[in-house]
Chains A and B, each alone.
Chain A
Amino acid sequence: MAKLIHGWEVVIGLEIHCQLNTQSKIFSGSATTFGAEPNTQASLVDLAMPGALPVLNHDAVNKAIRFGLGIDAEIGRASVFARKNYFYPDLPKGYQISQFELPIVGRGHIDITLADGSVKRIGITRAHLEEDAGKSLH
């Protein structure tokens, strides 16, 4: 039974963006070396040149699956990438390749130990793969 505070049950949701430590980016073969000179790790695909096409980095998928197994989650046997369309300076294509309906990782959980030694189960709704801009200066 949840503890009520002034009659209210407090629910906190966290959306966590976690960069996977792959050698190259998720949809292009570009390197991901931290601290490199600007524009030295941006390929035709990253710059959204006309005619450029994304190619999925298999290692990113492997790492996502590994995470999913680690949180005891369902792994999507069929998983779909979808475009999130909007205009922004850090979004060269004008859309972000993300996942919507069929994420790679489904419902899972992580158990944490509280100060009093009791174990609390934190539910994880889903985890999916997407591309994200590193840093934007504009």
Chain B
Amino acid sequence: MSDLHLLSVSDQMAALASGQLSSVELTRHYLDRIARLDPQVNSFITVTAEQALAQAQAADQARQNGTAGPLTGLPVAHKDIVCTQGVRTSCGSRMLESFIAPYNATVIERCSAAGLVMLGKTNMDEFAMGSTSESSYYGPTRNPWALDRVPGGSSGGAAAAIAADLAPLATGTDTGGSIRQPAAFCGLTGLKPTYGRVSRFGMIAYASSLDQGGPMARSAEDCAHLLNVMAGHDGRDSTSSPQPTENYAAQLGQSLQGLRIGLPRQYFAKGLDGDVEQRLREALAVLESLGATLVDIDLQRVDDAIPAYYLIAPAEASSNLSRYDGVRYGHRCAQPRDLTDLYTRSRSEGFGPEVQRRILIGTYALSAGYYDAYYLKAQKVRRLIREDFLQAFTQCDVIAGPTTPSAAYKLGAKQDPVSMYLGDLYTIAVNLAGLPAISAPCGFDSSYSDSGDHSAPLPVGLQLIGPDWSEARLLAMVHQYQQHTDWHTQRAPLAVQGG
């Protein structure tokens, strides 16, 4: 079959379970597509073809032995931020171009134990700092919906890979929106779980109090299966929560009857681009038809989130990235004259401009004389932002809004970093508050009709934010929505053209 990639993940799982399809066949199918189509997209930094086929063979063997689980044999792509033993783990940076991870991240161990087959490591903004995947040392990733546009970031490679049908599932990470925004730009479903839900052991740190790994796929159902594998307490990550996990895939049928969806007035006071607001209102109407009610709420602190984040995250990053010094691994400058020269040149050469910018901002915000005014103050504002959400959740069960103010913009469009930062408006507060949130495709923006621009309509994302540990409800809401709409099944032109 030349259209195995068009099967839903559930259908792939069923075909694998019944023996109708082998993991080797499915894996080879995706590897062939990657070889043919990825040169146009650049969604992978490293393709692990040999290992993938070996893992697929092992998966088929497990099925023969009767030891296979529900996900055994399914291919998955991993954002190049998670350590994979024996495989380059670059974080999208020159600094780690030569770094072969000596161990597996917990997320990788769990995926492996579940029998998932690793296709490769996906492209990303360098050290997860960015919203476009343009800052990658390995070249930008292109949006399969329009190759002159960004796929979003920092998990842009993962999103583009799924959108181009080069992988059915992917793991991403989200610090300020890096799963949700690329999911929105690429017409996919992506979930950032509650902080502490997924282990960060082996997940290269950007901002330790904000980073969280999560699933990306075409549907909430697919995400639920992957979350089942990823979630859970890990003794090796002291920030991972002992909160019991649930079987997320088993709770997708939860009714929406009586669910109160909060709409922050502040979200609609902003300029929403093109058709974004229209698509959002249509999606909310579908949720209402499924039994939910809409409630107007206030989120007073919406405007504080970006300034607070762009102090806290760079501060944490400046500390987390200090270990990249050219001594034990990673890029080392040629012929260092002395210790200072070793540190200075290795880091100046190894890090790109956006990473250097954030390290400098972060170091400044933490420095003596400025710590209280910047970092400490931002942390206080952060607590108020969380309290703002908790207050809102006394009046509603879930908060809805657009994931992004616009659909995907062109590569090179955001020359000024601050204008790129402002696009994180809806996603960033969620990380500061530690809450779970999901983005789901809710239609297209057709307003991109520049003369001579032949790009297809661009996907628009709906974001739902829930209280701590409400992943099951968020996934169920999107699943119900996806039973009554088909946005999530639409294919990008590149995916179709690739055949």
A contact residues vs B (CB 8 Å cutoff):
44, 47-56, 83, 85, 87, 89, 92-95, 138
Contacts and interface: CB of A to CB of B under 8 A. Distances in A.
8 contacts: A49-B328, A50-B83, A50-B91, A51-B200, A51-B204, A53-B238, A56-B238, A94-B321
Interface stretch (B30-38, B99-107, B382-390, B437-445): B99-107
A48 B319 CA distance: 12
A85 B366 CA distance: 9
Interface in B336-365: 339, 343, 363
B103 A44 contact: yes
B212 to A, nearest CB: 14
A87 B201 contact: no
B237 interface: yes
B203 A51 contact: yes
B200 A53 contact: yes
Closest 9 CB pairs of A and B: A94-B322, A51-B202, A48-B323, A50-B204, A51-B83, A51-B204, A93-B323, A94-B323, A85-B319
B236 interface: yes
B322 A85 contact: yes
A124 B200 CA distance: 38
B420 interface: no
Given A51-B201, A53-B238, A95-B322, 14 more contacts: A48-B323, A48-B328, A49-B101, A50-B99, A50-B205, A51-B204, A51-B205, A53-B200, A53-B201, A53-B237, A55-B236, A55-B238, A92-B323, A94-B319
B150 to A, nearest CB: 26
Interface string B192-229: 00000000111111000000000000000000000000
Given A50-B204, A95-B319, A89 B235 contact: no
A47 B328 contact: yes
A54 B82 CA distance: 17
Nearest to B96: A50
Given A44-B103, A50-B83, A55-B236, A92 B328 contact: yes
A93 B322 contact: yes
B466 to A, nearest CB: 26
A51 B339 CA distance: 24
A86 B113 CA distance: 39
Contact of A54 (B102, B238, B322, B327): B238
A94 B325 contact: yes
B268 interface: no
Given A55-B238, A93-B322, A49 B329 contact: yes
Contacts of B235: 55
B322 A87 contact: yes
Interface of B: 82-83, 89, 91, 96, 99, 101-103, 105, 200-205, 235-239, 318-319, 321-323, 325, 327-329, 339, 343, 363, 366
Kindly name the residue among B204, B318, B323 whose own CB sees the greatest number of chain A CB atoms within 10 A: B323
A89 B323 CA distance: 11
A50 B319 contact: no
Contacts of A49: 83, 101-103, 328-329
A138 B366 CA distance: 29
Nearest to B366: A85
Contacts of B236: 53, 55
Contacts of B202: 51-52
Nearest to B237: A53
Given A53-B200, A55-B236, A55-B238, A87 B82 contact: no
Contacts of B237: 53
Nearest to A27: B238
Given A49-B329, A50-B89, A94-B319, A87 B83 contact: no
A95 B208 CA distance: 14
A85 B201 CA distance: 21
Contacts of A94: 319, 321-323, 325
Nearest to A94: B322
A91 to B, nearest CB: 8
Contacts of B204: 50-51
Given A47-B328, A50-B101, A89 B339 contact: yes
B425 to A, nearest CB: 30
A89 B342 CA distance: 11
A137 to B, nearest CB: 14
B85 to A, nearest CB: 11
A54 B339 CA distance: 26
Contacts of A93: 322-323
A56 B99 CA distance: 27
A87 B325 contact: yes
Contacts of B102: 44, 49
A138 B328 CA distance: 14
A69 B343 CA distance: 43
Contacts of B205: 50-51
Kindly name the residue among B202, B318, B366 whose own CB sees the greatest number of chain A CB atoms within 10 A: B202
A74 B318 CA distance: 34
A66 B237 CA distance: 27
A68 to B, nearest CB: 22
Contacts of B200: 51, 53
Nearest to B83: A51
Contacts of A87: 322, 325, 343
B238 A51 contact: no
A44 B99 CA distance: 14
A55 B237 CA distance: 7
Contacts of B105: 51
Nearest to A50: B204
Kindly name the residue among A87, A93, A95, A138 whose own CB sees the greatest number of chain B CB atoms within 10 A: A87
B323 A50 contact: yes
Contacts of B96: 50
A44 B237 CA distance: 13
